[in-house]
Structure 1
Amino acid sequence: MSEEQVEQISDKINFWYDFYERSLIWRYGHIPAERKEGEKEALEH
């Protein structure tokens, strides 16, 4: 797989993740605390 293909795939994943996160905010008015904790842990590793 070329680097360009990897970038395209990761762009699609990021798009759908952002879409999912926005839909949670729209539906619940906030992001559940455990999701934020998971993001912090992922950033630390």
Structure 2
Amino acid sequence: MFDNIPNDFSVDVRTPDPVVVKVQPSKELLFVLAGVVLVAAAWVKRK
């Protein structure tokens, strides 16, 4: 029982990892783009 549970967990953990890795960069890019837009808007307003 104990031998099978860690194996199942390792398989479950390995499958979401590629999905999470693929999703994280897109979210980071969105945050970066949003930050750039906010900074650009604030910089334009200051001028």
The verdict on a shared fold, with TM-score over 0.5 as the criterion, is yes
Asked if 1:7 is matched to 2:33, the reply is no
Q: CA deviation at 1:18?
A: 0.0
Identity fraction in percent:
7
Give the 4+ runs in structure 1 shifted more than 2 A: none
Higher RCO (CA < 8 A, seq sep 6+):
1
Unaligned runs of 5+ in 1: 30-45
Count of residue pairs brought into register by the alignment: 29
Larger CA Rg, structure 1 vs 2: 2
Greater share of residues in helix? 2
Partners of 1:21 and 1:5 in 2: how far apart? 25
Matched, 1:25 2:42: yes
Give the structure-2-normalised TM-score.
0.57
TM-score, L = length of structure 1? 0.59
RMSD: 1.4
